[in-house]
Amino acid sequence: MKHKQPTYWQKYDQVFKRFSYKKIYEMIHGLAMKLGEPFSKQGTRGPKLKLPSITYASFIAFEIITGDAHFRDMEQDAELFVIKHIDHSTFQRNFEKIPYEYLQHLLQACAALLESLLGTATAYIPDSTAVTTRRYHDIMYRGKIRRVKQTYKSHALVGYYPDKGVIYVKTAEGTDHHVSDSAGAVSMLDDYDLGWAYLPADRGYDYERVYRAAEEAGLTSIIKKQKRKNGRKSKCRKRSMYREPFYRHLRHPVENNFGGLENKGMLVTSLRKPENIAKYSVIIHLRQTLFAYLRQTVLGLIDSIMRQTRVNNKF
């Protein structure tokens, strides 16, 4: 009799039965240890760091992805995880010291753990969403001044395994809201040679630079084309393998990633500085990748237990 695969919520339940928040924090801390110190104390003057910089980086990332915590919440939780009372202003100062690239590498290291279990993804889907602040500014719209919320962008390159129903974020970037989707995709693809996989993307990515970046990364483009009149022809654009049913099959899971962030209220932040918001935009995607890895780890444990049970039943 074929074993019935556990549902999403059964896997979700098993994650929290087998991985406490303490273990999840230790996993993030272990990834940070492999990356090394994000920053060090400059000079000999002033007090020493109360905690190693690795601990600051991993604890702040843990607090954001598990509860979208503010710095005051981190102060309350500090004694439970780092065995010291740390003032919220200390967390804020040290968050500003963490390099943006370090947090990107932390996300990519977590993605590499998942890929070590499942191999290369079938598709890499670029997409972006708005990260809204609680601050307002004035803009000119149709000759009138309008007061709107200050917004930024969070770009993500989402990996997808259709046969396993698994999505994760391979890398992410936080930018100003004026940066286009296509520019964000090119920036994320620049440093990768992903081998053979698909790149399904919507009309916002129908630009020559995206096709070239995809080809250089070893990807086959499946990009929905814009309606252009007398547009210049492109060799890369001609090679795009766009088919509507196939595009929809590979593209739709990306909405689950951003939908989950919206449901958790993680697309709104109280941070003020643009550089801190960019870091936050990277950290929030670590949640999807980390929990995808934990669910796959749980499945592996369940399968090994079931195999052992079947062996024992034979004897």
Same domain, 82 and 152: no
Q: With respect to residue 186, please indicate whether it lies within any of the assigned structural domains.
A: yes
Q: With respect to residue 306, please indicate whether it lies within any of the assigned structural domains.
A: no
C-alpha 96/C-alpha 28 separation (Å) is 19
Same domain, 132 and 207: yes
Q: With respect to residue 4, please indicate whether it lies within any of the assigned structural domains.
A: no
Q: With respect to residue 207, please indicate whether it lies within any of the assigned structural domains.
A: yes
Same domain, 129 and 78: no
Same domain, 73 and 213: no
Q: With respect to residue 8, please indicate whether it lies within any of the assigned structural domains.
A: no
Nearest Cα neighbor of 137 from 145, 126, 149 is 149
What is the secondary structure of the chain as a DSSP string?
A: -PPPPPPHHHHHHHHHHH--HHHHHHHHHHHHHHH--S----SS-SPPPSS-HHHHHHHHHHHHHHH---HHHHHHHHHHHTSS---HHHHHHHHHHS-HHHHHHHHHHHHHHHHHHH-S-SEEEEEEEEEEEEEEEEEEETTEEEEEEEEEEEEEEEEEETTTTEEEEEEEEEEETTS-HHHHHHHHHTT----SEEEEE-GGG-SHHHHHHHHHTTEEEEEPPP--SSPPP-HHHHT----HHHHHHHHTTHHHHHHHHHHTTTTEE---SHHHHHHHHHHHHHHHHHHHHHHHHHHHHHHHHHHHHHHHHH-
Q: With respect to residue 257, please indicate whether it lies within any of the assigned structural domains.
A: yes
Q: Which residue has the tokens 């084309």?
A: 225
Q: Which domain holds residue 185?
A: 103-295
pLDDT digits 0-9 by tens, 188-247: 998 777 778 899 998 889 888 999 899 888 888 888 887 765 555 555 566 667 788 888
Q: With respect to residue 307, please indicate whether it lies within any of the assigned structural domains.
A: no
Same domain, 185 and 261: yes
Same domain, 164 and 256: yes
Mean pLDDT by 10 residues, the chain (315 residues): 62 76 93 93 73 94 89 92 92 94 95 91 92 80 78 93 91 91 91 80 89 88 76 59 81 81 88 93 93 85 51 47
Same domain, 176 and 82: no
pLDDT at 250: 85
- Indicate the pTM of the whole model: 0.87
Evaluate whether 289 touches 108 at the Cβ level (below 8 Å).
no
Count how many domains the chain has.
Answer: 2
Same domain, 40 and 134: no
pLDDT at 302: 56
Q: With respect to residue 139, please indicate whether it lies within any of the assigned structural domains.
A: yes
**Mean pLDDT rounded to a whole number for the chain:** 84
pLDDT at 237: 61
